[in-house]
Chain A
Amino acid sequence: MRRLTGFAGVRVGEACLPGPKQKSPDLASLLSINVGGAPGAWRLLEENCSEALVICLQEINMKPDEWTAYLRMVNKMGYNGFYQPGPSSSDKWGNSRTIGGTAMLIHRTLSHKFAWSQSHLGVQSVGVWIHGKLILNIYSPPGHDAVAAQLLGQWWATNKLDSVQWVVVGDFNADPEVSSAARFLTLQKGCLLGNPEIGSRWDSSKFIDWGMCSSPEVASFEGHHDHVSISDHKGFWVHVHQISCSSIRGRLKPAPSWIKPSWLDSCEWVELLEHSWTKIRTTPTHATWEKSMHRPSDSVDSVDVQIEWNLFIKNLNQCFIGAYENLMLQPGLSDDHIHELAQRLKKPGRRAKGAIATFQWFQDACCRRGHPNPGEKIRKLRRSLARLFEVRRLVRQNIRPPENLLQKLWPTTHELLSLDQLLCLAQDGITDVQRNPLKRPIVGTLDCMNGKVRINDPTLKGLASWVKRKTSAVASATVHYMGREASQPQEVNSLIHQYWTDLWRRSDIDVGHMANKLAMDFGPTQEHEWQPLTLNELWTACRNAKGAMGPDGYSGSELKHMPLGAIGDFRRCSLRWWETSYLPKQFMQSRQINIHKPHKIVNGKAEVSDLRPLSVLSCFWRVYSSAWATNSQLAYWANLYFDERVAHGKGTTVQKSWRHAFRTNMPPEEDT
């Protein structure tokens, strides 16, 4: 094999960023097309929006409810949509239909803000600000050229566009040489975007789809969209300059998910975990934890509590890994089962599992035209290929590769591998990756299957939530706070952060005074002897665990299969908290997931205060807290002292009060 580039020297370590460097260009690709009705608009979605970042659609003829359905799909594809419907008319059968209409789809990676939309005497326009530039989309039906010019005049008067950069595109149904709209834009120092020598429709030489921009530096014409036919119009491409597309996103450091293998039932999986836990009890890590737990609580501080918890988590992680590894050794497993287990074991981020959550930036894939950013998935693939090739190259030269490189490829077995074995493994790895690099992971397929199982649940709960999700209104809007507006998730997060910080800054309270007032209003109580949670209570709470993963990466579906020994250790940790009042830092972290309340969105806008904040705490704390919430001591106390008109959970006395209130107040004929 001949080397193509580079020198034949000895490499030290590994390449820090394998693969060619790709910098996103400083421009946005804009596609303007007359889709000739709703079917054309749907066809464009099937074409993955032709990978444009900004799409200007004309004549989409959609009614508002059709647009809602369309917008739902558009949102799923990562775009925000803005629509200005045209006038309605009735056909000879009395059915109403919408004529014309313009829409703009903007990819969420672009920072944008809705400007204005207007329908004027049959001409529609919609505009969006992107990075300080106004992108305006117009549809002017045949014979409405003067109205289009009038509408543009309104835009200039309303938005004071004399001193800003703008791009106007659309279907004007008139040649720019004779169009009043073009004349108006030329007077605003506009430059033509388009090629007058080529017809803008497939079967006509007329040049009626064109655009103009405030200066040649703002945008450039890139040709017609002539490789796919969406409608009778070809559509055309424009590059809008000096617009950067942000594909950097924030996330919590990911951790593997250790859920039950798909072919086992819960009992079998728990049994495997129990078996794995018996091995864990003989490890040095568990011995260290035991030694730590034998210290008296009065000599323990917050650091010790943190160390104890971290050791417990380490043991638990090792228990899950051990169970998967033992399962892999069992005879009679099919290839699919082995593949599933291998994928679970291969998932990176073991150290993050159960640990204090950390934030990290990552590069999201942005497969848009002009932005060939491969995203993290492809980069990982390239990195692993580079490592495997490096191992193969060195082994062929009879050199043992550096240990840190081997550890990254085969973390558990790298020390035992001979050169021959390394060569075989590297060769297999390369073949495996090259065979089908983007094969859908089996774990994702299993998640889909689990979703189908939920829908077929005889209680109809899963089906009901699926139907609700499908029929719910589209919850996508720009978010406002204190005169600021945000459309990109990162910007919205900043507004949310600002809102809550401002809200809590104002809260200046006298804790002692208020607590006294509340205790006085509540009434007198007697002293009780409070005991910590029993193993049985914690075991029940663990087995009933459910819900999303907390910041530490553990979810309810993982905790509900914890082996009894691990629950016992969990309880011993909790006794330490009970005695010292110190808690691991993992419990002081939570995820606040903010979602739109659809009914609060007005004209595509929502206030920050109208977002619904859902807090997700560590699943271990939720289990502990849940065990207390159902604890018999607390229930007894609540029965003694809570007002019976207050409900705080299932089976509380208020339900009887409700029933009583209904029965005593309902007229007899209604009480059926």
Chain B
Amino acid sequence: MNPKITAQMMRQLQLAPSLADLLERVWGSQNRFLEFDSVVHHDTLASHCSMPQGDPLSPFCLALWASAGLRHVDAAATNTAPALTLCYMDDRSMWSSSLDAIIERVNIWSAWSDFLKVKTKPKLSLSMSGIVFPFKTYIPIGVKMKLLFWVCPLPPNDGI
């Protein structure tokens, strides 16, 4: 995710503009020392278009993107079947009683990601779509999961 876009977005949302400037400076002009097997590469890697995973503010900024994405999907979805999408860091989980609703949402997510040049994992999306998981195999909260589609009956008037 491009730090310049994140910083610009923060300024537009009036979210701590001074902090946005600092983040843009730190993330947008990183010189990385590459290490493999305790050996450092002699040439630094100039990184200007990625958010460092090891920064404590990265999850916060990622949540900015995810919130925008979720609201975009809500606004663009036409299928009226109840559906729920939850985001935990870079993982998304989608539930619905309708497979069509899930597929539509996945497609909207993918188009949105492509537009913003966010790197996604298309293989995972293809392999997982449409698979119905039995209840007992559901992964508990907090466990790492990527993109999980969940087709199950949602209670009526759930408000989702």
Q: Contacts A507-B117, A661-B95 known; A521 to B72 CB distance under 8 Å?
A: yes
Report chain B residues within 8 Å CB of A626.
Answer: 56
Report chain A residues within 8 Å CB of B66.
Answer: 643, 646
Residue in A501, A518, A616 with the greatest tally of chain B CB atoms within 10 Å? A518
A665 to B155, CA, bound (A): 7
Binds B, one of A236-244, A391-399, A576-584: A576-584
Report chain A residues within 8 Å CB of B85.
Answer: 645
A659 to B69, CA, bound (A): 22
Contact with A along B48-62 (1 / 0, CB 8 A): 111011111101101
CB of A227 within 8 Å of the partner chain: no
A354 to B9, CA, bound (A): 32
Q: Contacts A577-B22, A646-B66, A646-B70 known; A591 to B33 CB distance under 8 Å?
A: yes
Report chain A residues within 8 Å CB of B2.
Answer: 507, 509, 511, 514
Please provide the chain A residues from 471 to 499 with a CB less than 8 Å away from any CB of chain B in the complex. 489-490, 492-494, 496-497
- Cβ–Cβ contact B34 & A497, under 8 A: yes
Binds B, one of A59-67, A111-119, A138-146, A524-532: A524-532
Report chain A residues within 8 Å CB of B18.
Answer: 530, 532, 578-579, 581
- Cβ–Cβ contact B116 & A518, under 8 A: yes
Report chain A residues within 8 Å CB of B8.
Answer: 511-512, 515
- Cβ–Cβ contact A590 & B54, under 8 A: yes
- Cβ–Cβ contact B89 & A647, under 8 A: yes
CB of B123 within 8 Å of the partner chain: no
Binds B, one of A4-12, A151-159, A169-177, A648-656: A648-656
- Cβ–Cβ contact A497 & B54, under 8 A: no
Q: Which of A357, A528, A622, A642 contacts B56 (CB 8 A)?
A: A622
- A623 → chain B closest CB, angstroms: 9
* Closest Cβ neighbor of B48 among chain A residues: A504
* Closest Cβ neighbor of B53 among chain A residues: A615
CB of B127 within 8 Å of the partner chain: no
Report chain A residues within 8 Å CB of B158.
Answer: 664
CB of B106 within 8 Å of the partner chain: no
Q: Which of B39, B117, B135 contacts A509 (CB 8 A)?
A: B117
- Cβ–Cβ contact A504 & B50, under 8 A: yes
Report chain B residues within 8 Å CB of A579.
Answer: 18
- A574 → chain B closest CB, angstroms: 9
Binds B, one of A195-203, A248-256, A564-572: A248-256
Report chain B residues within 8 Å CB of A657.
Answer: 86
- Cβ–Cβ contact B116 & A649, under 8 A: no
A516 to B158, CA, bound (A): 33
- Cβ–Cβ contact B60 & A649, under 8 A: yes
Q: Contacts A504-B50, A507-B49 known; A518 to B68 CB distance under 8 Å?
A: yes
CB of A617 within 8 Å of the partner chain: yes
- A645 → chain B closest CB, angstroms: 5
Q: Which of A496, A521, A581, A654 contacts B34 (CB 8 A)?
A: A496
- Cβ–Cβ contact B52 & A637, under 8 A: no
Report chain A residues within 8 Å CB of B19.
Answer: 530, 578, 628
CB of B78 within 8 Å of the partner chain: no
Contact with A along B86-114 (1 / 0, CB 8 A): 11110000010000000000000000100
CB of A338 within 8 Å of the partner chain: no
A183 to B41, CA, bound (A): 47
Report chain B residues within 8 Å CB of A492.
Answer: 36-37
Report chain A residues within 8 Å CB of B135.
Answer: 666-667, 670
Report chain B residues within 8 Å CB of A581.
Answer: 18, 21-22, 25
Report chain B residues within 8 Å CB of A359.
Answer: 33, 40, 42, 44
- Cβ–Cβ contact A493 & B41, under 8 A: yes
| A-B CB proximity, top 7 nearest | A648-B63, A515-B8, A493-B41, A489-B39, A521-B68, A489-B37, A643-B67
Additional A-B contact list (7), CB under 8 Å, known A581-B22, A621-B26: A252-B40, A489-B38, A504-B49, A514-B5, A518-B5, A530-B16, A590-B32
Query: Can you list 17 A-B contacts (CB < 8 A)?
Result: A250-B42, A252-B33, A497-B43, A504-B47, A504-B50, A511-B4, A514-B116, A515-B5, A518-B68, A521-B68, A522-B9, A578-B19, A592-B32, A615-B53, A615-B54, A617-B55, A628-B57
